[in-house]
Amino acid sequence: METYLVGGAVRDEMLGRSVGDRDWVVVGSSPEEMAALGYRQVGRDFPVFLHPETHEEYALARTERKTGPGHVGFVCHAGPDVTLEDDLQRRDLTVNAMARSGSGALIDPFGGAQDLERKLLRHVSEAFREDPLRVFRVARFVSQLPGFAVADETLALMKEVAASDELGALSAERVFGELARALGEPEPTAFFGVLRSAESLQPWFAELDGVDLALPPGLVDPVERFAALGWFVNADQAKHLAERLKAPSAFSKALRQVSRYGSLLAGWRAADATDVVAAFNATRAFALPDESARLLRVVGACSGVDLGPLGTVVARMGSEVRAGTLPRGLAGASVGDALDQRRAALLRKAQTSG
């Protein structure tokens, strides 16, 4: 039984990056031996175990054989006869197909170290095309590793996968998971650039096909970066995009608000004050000030307009204009109308001020 550190931990260590999760491959063992040593099995589709002390993941070396469409259509074989090179060969990219032995020796059968030096993302084998999720993983790695490029031959394989309709067999959860991770990386716009180059925006990101997309560098939160996509599409497109990806409610709501109200808020000084107040009512800006601030932050970053003055007047609308400040005797819809009128009056004063 031999254990090897594998995958991203080896890659990031060689790049001088912070190493997060550490994954290990075990060669020459069996589930029974691992259990006897105190490891706890957690993998359903193939044997993965948690170390009894560190709780890091240890997977038995395995091979895979594709049996169906999508990301999960595989049969795995794990056993003492599977070698380390067999296990590394099934991986997506050469930079992720390296291992370190217990003595620190680098095992690199596919040239991953050289590709790291060249800042090149290259597939390990033709089996790359068998897992369509790898198209999105490659795009995510480019967003994660600034300066890296996709090898021409790998880009050609990605195009083949897209042309085969295999991307449509993926689950929305898997695709959104890769997107969400890319939105947290240094170069999120690169994710979409790679997909465009690989002709892989369809079907999941159809609304962004043909769009000159560049996410504002000032936004760092994944929800805000996703919301910024709304600046480039109309309200119907934003709705379809969020629904297709099954985006979590916070992501979906932020995206749709930017798409629907972004242009209005960016041009608020010249807009009808009642329209702007109606937009803030629709987004519940006075009840949810944090979300209102996020909306203005995203729209400001996308438009290049300083929306600080608008944020100040919105805060005043919420704190100074309340039902308790209205004349007595108002009820029902009259209360809401009176609040809107006062808020619009505040906004008009802000529109004409410096």
Q: How far apart, in whole angstroms, are the C-alpha atoms of residue 274 and residue 58?
A: 61
Q: How far apart, in whole angstroms, are the C-alpha atoms of residue 1 and residue 28?
A: 5
User: In this predicted structure, what is the pLDDT of residue 163?
Assistant: 95
pLDDT digit string (tens) for 8-22?
999 999 999 988 889
User: In this predicted structure, what is the pLDDT of residue 333?
Assistant: 58
Q: According to the CATH classification, is domain 132-210 in 1.10.110?
A: yes
Residue 98 has pLDDT above 60, yes or no: yes
Strand, coil or helix: 326: coil
pLDDT digit string (tens) for 236-262?
999 999 999 999 999 999 999 999 999
Q: Which of 92, 94, 96 is nearest to 5 (CA)?
A: 96
Q: How far apart, in whole angstroms, are the C-alpha atoms of residue 89 and residue 91?
A: 5
Portion of the chain with pLDDT greater than 70, in percent:
92
User: In this predicted structure, what is the pLDDT of residue 154?
Assistant: 98
178 HSE (CA, 13 A, CB side)? 24
60: exposed, middle or buried (Cβ count in 10 Å: 0-12, 13-18, 19+): buried
Residue 324 has pLDDT above 60, yes or no: no
In the chain, CATH 1.10.110 sits at 132-210
User: In this predicted structure, what is the pLDDT of residue 335?
Assistant: 60
Lowest mean pLDDT among 47-51, 111-115, 197-201, 276-280: 47-51
pLDDT digit string (tens) for 42-67?
866 678 999 999 999 999 998 877 55
Q: What is the mean pLDDT of the chain?
A: 91
pLDDT digit string (tens) for 287-304?
899 999 999 999 999 999
29 is written with which tokens? 């063992």
User: In this predicted structure, what is the pLDDT of residue 64?
Assistant: 74
In the chain, CATH 3.30.460.10 sits at 1-113
CATH, domain range 1-113:
3.30.460.10
